[in-house]
Amino acid sequence: MRFQIDRSVLALPLLAAFGGTAKGSYLELTDDELHCKFGFLFDEAIPLSAIEGVEANVRWPWYDGVGWRTNLRGRVGLVGTLRNIVCIKVAPGRKAHLFLPLPLRELYVSLEDGEGFVAALRERLAARQQSGQAG
CATH number of domain containing 87? 2.30.29
For the stretch 62-86, pLDDT in tens is 999 999 999 999 999 999 999 999 9
Question: How many domains is the chain built from?
Answer: 1
pLDDT for the residue numbered 102 = 93
Q: Which domain holds residue 28?
A: 2-134
- CA 96 to CA 116: how far, in whole Å? 24
Question: pTM for this structure?
Answer: 0.92
Identity at 80, one-letter amino acid code: G
pLDDT band (50, 70, 90) for residue 130: confident
56 Cβ partners below 8 Å, 6+ apart?
A: 86, 114, 115, 117, 118
Distances (CA, A) of 93 to 42, 49, 71: 18, 13, 16
